[in-house]
Structure 1
Amino acid sequence: MKITEGTLTEAWQRTVSEHALLHGVGLPPVALSEDELEACAERTEEAADDSLFLLLDEDGTVHGRHGPYLEVFATRDLEQVLYLIAEDAIGRDGGSPEETAVTLDRIDPAWGRRFRSGCLNGTGTVEECGRDPLEGLAWMAKSWREQAPYTTLSFFRAAPEQPVDAERLALLYGADPVQVAAGTRLKDLQAVDNGRAHWDRQWKSCCFGQAGGWTFLLHHDTPPGSFADKEAYAALGIKESVWLTATSSKAIYTLDYLRDGRRVDDDRGVLELIWYERGRAPYLRGGELDFLNRALRRAELDHPEVASTFELYFHALEGSLGLRVPRRDFAEGEVRAAYWAEG
């Protein structure tokens, strides 16, 4: 059945009347054009609070927007629209993700299962974590917000479970070939002059290695002239790369995920980590990054003790993509390291 403004209004009124927990929850503002949506948002005092608006196309597609521009879902399934309105309304009450799940359970057990899975059609599942969430990658999240140990965390692989050659990659970025050939470790750089010399030069260093089926390369500023040999870079066979970049002085923290030469972003452009709020999917439901929405929901439910959204986000990246950085190797200074080559 094609969704119209009338059918949407009637369906929501019926849903509210059948469930006491939704009494008083109004249908979000419905617009029939972009101009009407913008005008509606300007009239709504809560627009600055990321309120939910609905844009209804002639073909019956309902677009959910946070504010007039940020699209969070698009569907022609009326039941999905009703669920997403309820999820948004209940999530805004300030309860934990588990409390939201329990409330949705009480309205409809299928809705509770859908919320717990993080999957819009309710059929997706993510295995429970069962391990320390601050081991694989999330251990680095807190210090990374303060630009330590590095502002750029990049990961590369040629195919699932096929990392690229870490030494070749570091050299193409500009790592000192003498130190790479010598197998220099982070503890070797830190040992010079009791670490004072490394403190002065750490912004011109990198660490690299392999973990979780990826090659990682961590650094601050990339030296001028890196990637000069484009053919050698292409020969590495990189098919996927993930970049996490922190600019703490400007409070900007971004994710770039490239696959087969194109950015995976649902046409949103720069993906900032501050868009993620506990209990709310940061990316388009059913979109290219929905796998990360599902992993975040799993992380939230598995680890309510983790207060930092950055740690939850990093843990979700580990759970969904397998990104890891060896904590012990860093703690013991055993991770491979080098300064950028001079000249």
Structure 2
Amino acid sequence: MEITKRTLAEAWQRTAAGHALLHEVGLPPVALSDDELERWAERAEEEAEDGGLCLLLDEDGTVRGHHGPYREVFATRVLEQALYLIAEAAMRRRGGSLEEVADALERIDPVWGRRFRSGGLDDAGTVEACGRDPLEGLAWIAGSWREQDPYTTLAFFRAAPGLTVDAERLALLYGADPAQVAAGTRLKDLQAVDSGRAHWDRQWESCCFGQAGGWTFLLYHDTPPGSFADKEAYAALGIKESVWLTATSAKAIYTFDYMRDGGRVDDDWGVLELIWYERGRAPYLRGGELDFLNRAVRRAELDHPELTSTFELYFHALEESLGLRLPRRDFAEGEVRAAYWAGE
């Protein structure tokens, strides 16, 4: 059934009338054009109505949820999903912990409670708790990374299933010193012997590399001019997926880029900046290309309420959803492979 303004209003009226928790919750403003949306969104932001949620109804019946006039947070042509998302925004606005929001949605509809806990838009069935230390696989580095320690850029590369991206070849193509790569130089070696200068003064000229969790990682600050000169050699690495996490702490800019099969996965949002999301509100478009990460973020929030840093929650979600990891002990003991850039 194609959604119209009338069918949406009538469906919400029936839904709200059937549940005490929704009796006082009105339908968010519904706009039929971008100009109308902008007017409604600005007013909703000022009055904080339903957390600033406004709806834009396309001619084809697509309901687009917006927080503010320009940030689209969901798009659906399924009436039941639209009703759920409106209810979710309303329950979040009531306040309380995420478990309390989940419990409230569960009282309205058990499917909605499971859906909120899963972070998705469909009934996920039973959702298993994490049960692991959230600060092990990747999230252990989240706090220091915010201050560009140990490196500004955390880059990860993965080949087709059953294959691996050669870490040494990757580091060499980026510009690592061939002699140090061949010698198996470790981070502790750079820290101990440095041709007359302390490593802390040269760390901006270095990189660390290796493999963990099926990914090849390369950590660095600035790549030297001339990197990737051999494009054929880079293509021969067989990279199918790559993730870049970049921190510019002086400007408080933190970005996430995910490439898969030569294209950027971002729902046409452009540069994805971290981490501005509010707990309980999905950071990316619901039902979009990065919805798997929305689900992982929600699970991290619910499984680990002890984590107060959204960066740690987000990094744990990256570990859970994409399998990104870094060997904590190798970094702590200086055993991770390392090199300076050639010619530096």
Sort the TM-score into its range (normalised by shorter chain): over 0.9
Residue pairs, 1:203-214, within 5 angstroms = 203-214=204-215
35-44 vs 289-298, greater mean Cα deviation: 35-44
The question of whether the paired residues in 2 share the 8 Å contact of 1:167 and 1:180 is answered with yes
Shift of 1:39: 2.4
Contact 2:44/2:53, CA 8 A, preserved across alignment:
no
Q: Summarize the Cα distance change of 1:238–1:89 in structure 2 as closer, same or farther, 3 Å threshold.
A: same
Q: Would the aligned equivalents of 1:161 and 1:212 in 2 still touch at CA under 8 Å?
A: no
Deviation larger for 116-125 or 313-322: 116-125
CA deviation vs aligned residue, 1:225-247 (integer Å, no higher than 9, x gap): 11111111011111100000001
Measured in 2, the distance between the counterparts of 1:33 and 1:148 equals 46
- Tell me the CA shift for residue 125 of structure 1: 6.5
Matching residue of 1:78: 79
Whole-angstrom distance in 2 between the partners of 1:96 and 1:45? 22
Amino acid in structure 1 at the alignment position of 2:260: R
Percent of aligned pairs with the same amino acid? 83
- 1:135 and 2:136 aligned: yes
Three-state SS of the structure 1 residue aligned to 2:28 is: coil
What do residues 35-89 of structure 1 show as CA deviations (whole Å, max 9, x unaligned)? 2111222344438896111001122111111111211111111111111001112
Q: Does the C-alpha gap of structure 1 residues 115 and 233 become closer, same or farther in structure 2, counting only changes over 3 Å?
A: same
Matches of 2:82 and 2:15, distance apart in 1: 12
Give the 3-state SS of the residue equivalent to 1:88 in structure 2. helix
Work out whether residues 52 and 67 of structure 2, in 8 Å CA contact, stay in contact via their aligned partners in 1: yes
Task: Give the root-mean-square deviation of aligned CA atoms.
Answer: 1.9
Q: Is the 8 A contact 2:118 2:295 kept in 1?
A: yes
- State yes or no: 1:260 paired with 2:255: no
2:317 is aligned to: 316
Letter in 2 for 1:144: W
CA drift of 1:263 comes to 0.1
> 5+ unaligned residues in a row in structure 1: which ranges?
none
**Map of 1:10 onto structure 2:** 10
Tell me the equivalent position of 2:146.
145
Asked if 1:221 is matched to 2:202, the reply is: no
Q: Does 1:274 align with 2:275?
A: yes
128-137 or 168-177, larger mean C-alpha shift: 128-137
The DSSP-based 3-state class of the residue aligned with 1:178 is helix
TM-score normalised per structure 1 = 0.95
Per mean C-alpha deviation after superposition, the further-off stretch among 237-246 and 85-94 is: 85-94
Paired residues of 1:160 and 1:213 also in contact (CA < 8 A): no
**Distance in 1 between residues matched to 2:25 and 2:207, nearest whole Å:** 52
Residue type of the alignment partner of 1:8: L
- Letter matched to residue 21 of structure 2: L
**1:184/1:126 CA distance change after superposition, 3 Å:** farther
User: Mean alpha-carbon deviation: is it higher for 177-186 or for 267-276?
Assistant: 267-276
Distance 2:194 2:264 in 1: 43
Contact 2:41–2:67 (CA under 8 A) maintained in structure 1: no
Q: Residue 29 in 1 paired to residue 29 in 2? A: yes
State the one-letter code of the partner of 2:32: L
- Whether the 8 Å CA contact 1:41–1:47 is kept in 2: the answer is no
The residue type paired with residue 14 of structure 1 is R
Residues 262 and 247 of structure 1, relative CA distance in 2, 3 Å threshold = same
Residues 1:185 and 1:48: Cα distance change in structure 2 (over 3 Å): farther
Q: CA deviation at 1:162?
A: 3.2
Deviations 1:171-222 (A, max 9, x none): 0000011100000000011113699610100011000000000000000011
Residue in 2 aligned with 1:40? 40
Distance, in Å, in 1 between the alignment partners of 2:198 and 2:81 is: 59
Q: Secondary structure at the match of 2:275?
A: helix
CA distance in 2, matches of 1:155, 1:13: 48
Aligned length, in residue pairs: 343
- One-letter amino acid of the structure 2 residue matched with residue 18 of structure 1: G
Q: Secondary structure at the match of 1:12?
A: helix
1:248 aligns with 2:256: no
The aligned counterpart of 1:338 is 339
| Alignment-mate amino acid for residue 39 of structure 1 | R
Map of 1:237 onto structure 2: 238
SS of the equivalent of 1:162 reads coil
TM-score by length of 2: 0.95
Task: Report the 3-state secondary structure (helix = DSSP H, G, I; strand = E; otherwise coil) of the residue aligned with 2:296.
Answer: helix
Q: List per-residue Cα deviations over 1:121-165 (Å, max 9, x = no partner).
A: 123776532211000000000000111011100000112463300
Partner of 1:163: helix, strand, or coil? coil
1:300 maps to: 301
Name the structure 1 match of 2:164: 163
SS of corresponding position for 1:154: strand
Gaps of at least 5 residues in structure 2 are: none
Which segment is superposed worse, 62-71 or 256-265? 62-71
- Whether the 8 Å CA contact 1:118–1:124 is kept in 2: the answer is no
What is the SS of the residue equivalent to 1:342?
Answer: coil
CA shift in 2, pair 1:170/1:193, >3 Å: closer
